[in-house]
Amino acid sequence: MNLTKLAPRVQTCIRGYTTYGRLPTIARRPVTLIQSSPKPALHTALPRDSTSLYSSRRAYSTEGGPPRSGGVWSPLFTALFAFGIAATGYGVYELYGTLTMWPQEVRGDLREALKAKYKPDYSMCAAYFQRAWETAKSIPLESFKSQPHLKTSGIAICLGEVLEADNKQSEAYDVYVDALKRIQDAGIKDLSGPEKMRAVSLAYKLGELCDVLEKPKEEQEKWLTFGVETLIQNVLKVIPATNGQGTPQEEADSHNIITELGLPDWVSTVDVAAPFEALGTFYSKAGKLDYAMPLMLQAVSILIPPSPQESTPEDKCRGAQLMTSISEMIVRNKLTRETVQQAEQWAMKGLEVVVTTRKASKEPIGICEVSYAVQLFNMASLRAIGGDINKAKDLFARAANQAKLIGYKSLVDTSNQAIEDLNSRTAAAPQTS
């Protein structure tokens, strides 16, 4: 798929529909790319909470960061077994002992697959899920009654999750592709809200796995773009992004399916901003900043909507981190006084959001604590680029202190190294003048 042909179509959709009012002026201004200019070392590594639709590793590096719980890569049975077999035995029995919403043809295999999953026995579990998936594709769709694509894709996702846990990402990828194409063939517009969001989740998962498997960029772009366009055309136009994605009965059915199969976080949690962020990151890496910018801005507008709408503290801190990503984009290829000032405005806004959110929270929030350290570091980097050495050193020191408090060792080391570099530069200045 040609990036230059596809990207303007996505950009037009976003500019034509903004969830929460007008985008900032910069969203309508293309970014000039000058490849020969130096790239500032802004820090964009923020571990994502396990409450997102997909793992943080798709957009941010978590190497050296503080430990986090949950996430796409932690199967449900891992969490359950942390409490011991005795504590979960009754719940597991209840889980695979019913399955009454599933057709008789697949019920037995699902029950056996779940038994194997909670042992855990990957090969046996995968074999039963594989047979259930093949059976699900062969029987009439009407056998699944309400929201059939939610149920059939749920089986595929269970199979894919087990394959991933067994380090068979390529096989899992093929299963997810098969599941998504079946939903696409059914016609997205005719599906229920949860089924549409399932399509988005699968597209996003495929985009993530494209990175892991080093698939062609055109293939990754295809999946990520489908996720964004599905949201724009079928979800955001119908209901606010922060509300449920279907009728009460549809949502109840969706919850039951997730509970019975123990689906992973990237399926069970709705994160409407994530697809915009991922496609924006994709275009940013490709150097298409004029396409990346409006996508990032759309994600920010979803995570931090204007009053009177409210968002969670976690979403506010995620939105703040995206503001830092925007500031990094602005100065990436051309460093001028104007671009540095513009980048500082975005970075400062992100820092203000995090500071305000932390003050309003009675208890520390992991993502906000990490974001605060990252925001301080990035603000320090911009001040250093702008020549305000003393302020930069002060901000680096504050970033190191915050990072130390939360156990973010790599950021502590990077901040301290930045201070040493600035001290060396200052000491050498009189000798070279």
Q: What is the pLDDT of residue 397?
A: 98
pTM of the predicted model, to two decimals?
Answer: 0.72
Please confirm whether the linkage preceding 103 is cis (ω < 30° from 0): no
Three-state secondary-structure class, residue 403: helix
Please report where in the chains the tokens 């957009």 appear, as a residue: 59
Kindly list the distances between the CA atom of residue 413 and the CA atoms of 60, 105, 153, 400, in Å, as whole numbers in the listed order: 18, 57, 45, 8
Does 68 have pLDDT greater than 60? no
The number of helix segments (H) and strand segments (E) in the chain equals 18, 0
Kindly list the distances between the CA atom of residue 351 and the CA atoms of 10, 135, 357, 376, in Å, as whole numbers in the listed order: 29, 52, 10, 7
Contact 204, 278 (CB under 8 A): yes
67-73 contacts at long range (C-beta below 8 A, 24 or more positions apart): 67/407, 68/366, 70/265, 71/265, 72/205, 72/208, 72/264, 72/265, 72/266, 73/164
The structure tokens listed for 80 are 């359950």
In whole angstroms, give the CA distance from residue 306 to residue 308. Answer: 6
Does 162 have pLDDT greater than 90? yes
Judge if 45-71+312-433 and 75-270 fold alike in CATH terms. yes
| Domain-wise residue ranges, the chain | 45-71+312-433, 75-270
Does 415 have pLDDT greater than 50? yes
Report which of residues 421 and 90 the model is more confident about: 421
Q: What is the pLDDT of residue 119?
A: 84
Assign domain 75-270 to its CATH architecture: Alpha Horseshoe (1.25)
In whole angstroms, give the CA distance from residue 86 to residue 109. Answer: 24
Write out pLDDT tens, residues 56-67.
Answer: 333 333 334 443
Does 238 have pLDDT greater than 70? no
Report which of residues 30 and 307 the model is more confident about: 307
In whole angstroms, give the CA distance from residue 390 to residue 420. Answer: 12
Contact 46, 240 (CB under 8 A): no
Q: What is the pLDDT of residue 3?
A: 42
| Calculated CA dihedral for residues 233, 239, 242, 248, nearest 10 degrees | -120
In whole angstroms, give the CA distance from residue 361 to residue 365. Answer: 8
Does 275 have pLDDT greater than 90? yes
- pLDDT, average across residues 399-427: 94
- Check residue 188 and report its DSSP letter: G
In whole angstroms, give the CA distance from residue 301 to residue 22. Answer: 9
Report how far Cα 171 is from the mean position of its chain's Cα atoms: 22
Write out pLDDT tens, residues 190-200.
Answer: 898 889 999 99
The structure tokens listed for 172 are 């899992």
Q: Mean pLDDT score of the chain, rounded to an integer?
A: 77
Contact 329, 284 (CB under 8 A): yes
In whole angstroms, give the CA distance from residue 19 to residue 21. Answer: 6
The structure tokens listed for 262 are 């123990």
Does 392 have pLDDT greater than 50? yes
**330 contacts: CB under 8 Å, gap ≥ 6:** 26, 31, 339, 342, 343, 346
- pLDDT, average across residues 389-406: 97
Contact 370, 354 (CB under 8 A): no
Report which of residues 389 and 87 the model is more confident about: 389
Does 253 have pLDDT greater than 90? no
Q: What is the CATH number of domain 45-71+312-433?
A: 1.25.40
Does 384 have pLDDT greater than 80? yes
Write out pLDDT tens, residues 214-224.
Answer: 999 999 999 99
- Check residue 146 and report its DSSP letter: S
Q: What is the pLDDT of residue 135?
A: 97
Does 258 have pLDDT greater than 80? no
The structure tokens listed for 194 are 């949860």
10-15 contacts at long range (C-beta below 8 A, 24 or more positions apart): 10/225, 10/228, 10/229, 10/279, 10/291, 10/295, 11/290, 11/291, 11/294, 11/295, 13/228, 13/229, 13/232, 13/233, 14/228, 14/232, 14/276, 14/294, 14/295, 14/298, 15/294
**413 contacts: CB under 8 Å, gap ≥ 6:** none
- Check residue 49 and report its DSSP letter: P
In whole angstroms, give the CA distance from residue 67 to residue 192. Answer: 37
Write out pLDDT tens, residues 317-355.
Answer: 999 999 999 999 988 867 788 889 999 999 999 999 999
- pLDDT, average across residues 62-77: 36
In whole angstroms, give the CA distance from residue 274 to residue 262. Answer: 22
Write out pLDDT tens, residues 366-380.
Answer: 999 999 999 999 999
